[in-house]
A and B are shown apart, each in its own frame.
Chain A
């Protein structure tokens, strides 16, 4: 916390670095920067600063380091695990004023962006070049924030996650020093960190606990020539997953495979007045040239049929594709509409594909047994699925049942060689689960890295790793 004389001295240092307008003590501004889109309550920082360039970030970090003030980086606030809560107060670094797209190299398929640039902003910027950045976590998140949480998304089965697509980072460390994880200005074509330790992927997913990401260099892809979307119903979860596995094994470079369970389909039918058969359903999307699409769709259709799939429909033009995928697009709202007045919270685990049918079946039994509403949607190509828990926020008993359910689900995933967080990160709520997932030696290695880079535990304290509080 910042008190008295230190407050005045620190605040005046902040103001001399980023200007009068660049420092805010306003209650509304602090609250806005103390919460994200998760269920975790708001934990506002003591002050919010708005640096305009990496030099200012570095200077501000030095002040915080000198006075032992916690530092919490903030991008767009669209996280889902409470990562931006200032657990011990401190200084929130709101990076939204650093919003430049720098150094686009279309022939090398790379671009460097600052933290204020969001996914949609970048793709709009790139639209005339024929390139795009395909990692799509749903929200219009800051790309540097996506690097910090190692975001994934519906396209991961074909294009990978942030981990595969971040080539270089510029990071400000706890003491204000600035590091370029692959060397300054370097843009190696394939995996980063060919020289020495892989620093880039150390910071990807570090959720602000090791440094502040001020630039990220991203790998770009060609915009697909054409897209085809398809839908298919299955008699069982097993049949849907088998079709997914076989499609991948057949070498079809499928772009998206989304799974909706029968409860979710029913909700979507009611919400959007559709008439999908109420049974496990796969939504597929294919990218490629006209000829390759024909082949991809044919192969996928044959596979689904051999697994008992029915009502296989596909479409090429935008309007019909959107209509086919409408259920998947509206899933969140359809889930909420099941119980008006309630809030929705998304669970997030991932297991090897072979275990997916089992975990979904067991999870559905758990939901029914505990009288919980949790339609299921998943990025089945990676073994990742979400239960959209629809819960009454004013009913503490139900909230508690949901909390216990989520823990059982995470443990069920861990028991099946999976992970407790599919794509949302560890943040605040999954620290204990991380210990179970990694084991004591794994956690100790992580803690050693943390101690080496941030011995005073100033960088986003209370996230990822639990620390014994004195």
Chain B
């Protein structure tokens, strides 16, 4: 066992920013807008670093697919405790059309190249909400998957996992190597401290292109239009239950 964990980190618009749709409806405004690491990716990094601190794994490699700025996101992962980074350089139109299928092909190729024992990802990204990359990566590698993980523990060459599902909590045991996707309650990510940010500057980030990994990033999907959700209409107050029923009938709801 290599003891190596690959953690995927995605650069997204910061969760606190008010999103605005571009006037031409082709997407959202990203220029000049604050970006940061996807919150679920932060949780994945934290879990990987915790495993390393418990000496259950040996190395944490942070991976991000995107333009030059994705390196900032990798640096944050390094400041949190990852050992080195791989930046898969995708920019321009290719980046705009980059989705889970291409990313999962990239991660699968990297997992083989790096001889990874575990892939840790966030359950979904807060910009596209796809919730697909982890599952697709596992399928491409034919590895078991533990998605929506709220508890992870390693037991020899197996993993005990608690998953958050609609009905409650599901306990499963899977073999390694495996793909795990992190849910909200898995942990509370640490803040990067100044000394660790300094140390992170010395850690290595290697840049590769998708073609180097034999991956074609052409998208099979085309975004036709992006719109704001409909504006919320004003409500109205009624005096009696009878009025309410009349209004509901008028609106065709009853």
A residues in contact (CB < 8 Å) with B: 121, 124-125, 127-132, 222-225, 289, 318
B residues in contact (CB < 8 Å) with A: 14, 16, 34, 36-37, 76, 79, 188, 191-197
| Interface core residue of B14, B16, B36, B191 (most chain A CB under 10 Å) | B191
Q: In the bound complex, do residue A224 and residue B193 qualify as a contact, i.e. CB atoms below 8 Å apart?
A: yes
Using CB atoms, name the residue of chain B closest to A126.
B191
Q: In the bound complex, do residue A124 and residue B193 qualify as a contact, i.e. CB atoms below 8 Å apart?
A: no
Cβ–Cβ < 8 Å partners of B79 in chain A: 128, 130
**Distance of A127 Cα from B37 Cα, bound (Å):** 11
**Distance of A222 Cα from B194 Cα, bound (Å):** 6
A43 to chain B, nearest CB (A): 26
Given contacts A121-B16, A128-B36, A128-B76, contact A225 B195 (CB under 8 A): yes
Using CB atoms, name the residue of chain A closest to B190.
A318
12 contacts between A and B (CB under 8 A): A125-B14, A127-B192, A128-B36, A128-B37, A128-B192, A129-B197, A130-B192, A131-B194, A222-B193, A222-B194, A289-B195, A318-B188
Q: Looking at the complex, which one of A125, A130, A223, A224 makes contact with B16 (CB distance below 8 Å)?
A: A125
Q: In the bound complex, do residue B188 and residue A223 qualify as a contact, i.e. CB atoms below 8 Å apart?
A: no
A222 to chain B, nearest CB (A): 4
Cβ–Cβ < 8 Å partners of A132 in chain B: 191
Cβ–Cβ < 8 Å partners of B192 in chain A: 127-130, 223
Q: In the bound complex, do residue B34 and residue A130 qualify as a contact, i.e. CB atoms below 8 Å apart?
A: no
Cβ–Cβ < 8 Å partners of A124 in chain B: 16
Q: In the bound complex, do residue A130 and residue B193 qualify as a contact, i.e. CB atoms below 8 Å apart?
A: yes
Instruction: Given contacts A127-B191, A225-B193, list 8 more A-B pairs with CB under 8 A.
Output: A125-B16, A127-B192, A128-B36, A128-B37, A130-B192, A130-B194, A132-B191, A224-B193
Cβ–Cβ < 8 Å partners of B34 in chain A: 125
Sorted from nearest, which 8 A-B pairs have the closest CB atoms? A130-B194, A222-B194, A130-B197, A223-B193, A225-B193, A223-B191, A128-B76, A130-B193
B15 to chain A, nearest CB (A): 8
Cβ–Cβ < 8 Å partners of B16 in chain A: 121, 124-125
B43 to chain A, nearest CB (A): 14
Q: In the bound complex, do residue A130 and residue B36 qualify as a contact, i.e. CB atoms below 8 Å apart?
A: no
Using CB atoms, name the residue of chain B closest to A130.
B194
**Distance of A153 Cα from B76 Cα, bound (Å):** 30
**Distance of A130 Cα from B76 Cα, bound (Å):** 10
Cβ–Cβ < 8 Å partners of B188 in chain A: 318
A469 to chain B, nearest CB (A): 39
Cβ–Cβ < 8 Å partners of A129 in chain B: 192, 197
Cβ–Cβ < 8 Å partners of A128 in chain B: 36-37, 76, 79, 192
Using CB atoms, name the residue of chain B closest to A121.
B16
Using CB atoms, name the residue of chain A closest to B36.
A128
Cβ–Cβ < 8 Å partners of A225 in chain B: 193, 195-196
A310 to chain B, nearest CB (A): 32
Using CB atoms, name the residue of chain A closest to B34.
A125
Using CB atoms, name the residue of chain B closest to A109.
B194
B65 to chain A, nearest CB (A): 19
A388 to chain B, nearest CB (A): 28
A4 to chain B, nearest CB (A): 28
Using CB atoms, name the residue of chain A closest to B79.
A130
**Distance of A128 Cα from B196 Cα, bound (Å):** 11
Cβ–Cβ < 8 Å partners of A318 in chain B: 188
**Distance of A128 Cα from B191 Cα, bound (Å):** 7
Cβ–Cβ < 8 Å partners of B196 in chain A: 130, 225
A19 to chain B, nearest CB (A): 16
**Distance of A131 Cα from B14 Cα, bound (Å):** 17
Using CB atoms, name the residue of chain B closest to A128.
B76
B26 to chain A, nearest CB (A): 26
Cβ–Cβ < 8 Å partners of A130 in chain B: 79, 191-197
Using CB atoms, name the residue of chain B closest to A127.
B191
Using CB atoms, name the residue of chain B closest to A124.
B16
A3 to chain B, nearest CB (A): 28
A352 to chain B, nearest CB (A): 35
Using CB atoms, name the residue of chain A closest to B42.
A127
**Distance of A104 Cα from B195 Cα, bound (Å):** 19
Q: In the bound complex, do residue A223 and residue B76 qualify as a contact, i.e. CB atoms below 8 Å apart?
A: no
**Distance of A225 Cα from B16 Cα, bound (Å):** 25
**Distance of A130 Cα from B34 Cα, bound (Å):** 16
Q: In the bound complex, do residue A223 and residue B36 qualify as a contact, i.e. CB atoms below 8 Å apart?
A: no
Cβ–Cβ < 8 Å partners of B37 in chain A: 128
**Distance of A361 Cα from B193 Cα, bound (Å):** 42
**Distance of A289 Cα from B198 Cα, bound (Å):** 15
**Distance of A121 Cα from B17 Cα, bound (Å):** 11
Cβ–Cβ < 8 Å partners of A127 in chain B: 36, 191-192
**Distance of A131 Cα from B37 Cα, bound (Å):** 17
| Interface core residue of A127, A225, A289, A318 (most chain B CB under 10 Å) | A127
**Distance of A91 Cα from B192 Cα, bound (Å):** 43
**Distance of A225 Cα from B199 Cα, bound (Å):** 13
Cβ–Cβ < 8 Å partners of A224 in chain B: 193
Cβ–Cβ < 8 Å partners of B193 in chain A: 130, 222-225
Using CB atoms, name the residue of chain A closest to B18.
A99
Using CB atoms, name the residue of chain B closest to A225.
B193
| Interface core residue of B16, B34, B194, B195 (most chain A CB under 10 Å) | B194
**Distance of A301 Cα from B16 Cα, bound (Å):** 42
**Distance of A125 Cα from B37 Cα, bound (Å):** 12
A29 to chain B, nearest CB (A): 14
Cβ–Cβ < 8 Å partners of A289 in chain B: 195
Cβ–Cβ < 8 Å partners of B194 in chain A: 130-131, 222-223
B213 to chain A, nearest CB (A): 28
A180 to chain B, nearest CB (A): 25
**Distance of A381 Cα from B155 Cα, bound (Å):** 47
